[in-house]
């Protein structure tokens, strides 16, 4: 892992909450790279990996959906497992093409 990556604990109940948390983090000049479910202080949590970007740079807006619910015409930028509301959930993420 390079010096330009960092982890953020993300605890949410649904994909909309996870999406909002990732969007908030990316607004600070970083980009979502991956998610892993890990034990932290005796409990399971999402540890999202982010890559630092140049100051002021914001990637296209991410949206997470449950696996199989990717909107027509969208390409998955990430596929994996999220811990949502205490359950493992297969999910995908796509990015808005309009934002930059």
**SS3 category, 38:** strand
Task: Provide the strand spans (E) within 41-86.
Answer: 43-52, 62-66, 78-84
pLDDT, mean of residues 84-89: 96
Q: Is the model's pLDDT at 42 over the cut of 70?
A: yes
Q: Is the model's pLDDT at 1 over the cut of 70?
A: no
Which pLDDT belongs to residue 100? 40
Which pLDDT belongs to residue 99? 44
CA–CA dist 6, 91 (Å, integer): 21
Q: Is the model's pLDDT at 22 over the cut of 60?
A: yes
Question: If you average pLDDT over every residue of the chain, what do you get?
Answer: 93
pTM of the model as a whole? 0.89
């Amino acid at each position: 892992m390079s010096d330009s990556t960092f982890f953020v604990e993300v605890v949410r109940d649904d994909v909309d909450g996870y999406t909002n948390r990732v969007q908030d983090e990316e607004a600070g000049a970083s980009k979502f790279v991956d998610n892993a479910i890990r034990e932290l202080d005796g409990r399971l949590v999402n540890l999202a990996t982010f890559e630092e970007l140049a100051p002021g740079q914001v990637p296209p807006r991410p949206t997470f959906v449950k696996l199989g619910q990717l909107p027509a015409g969208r390409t998955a930028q990430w596929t994996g497992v999220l811990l949502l509301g205490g359950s493992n959930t297969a999910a995908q993420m796509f990015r808005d093409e309009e934002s930059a």
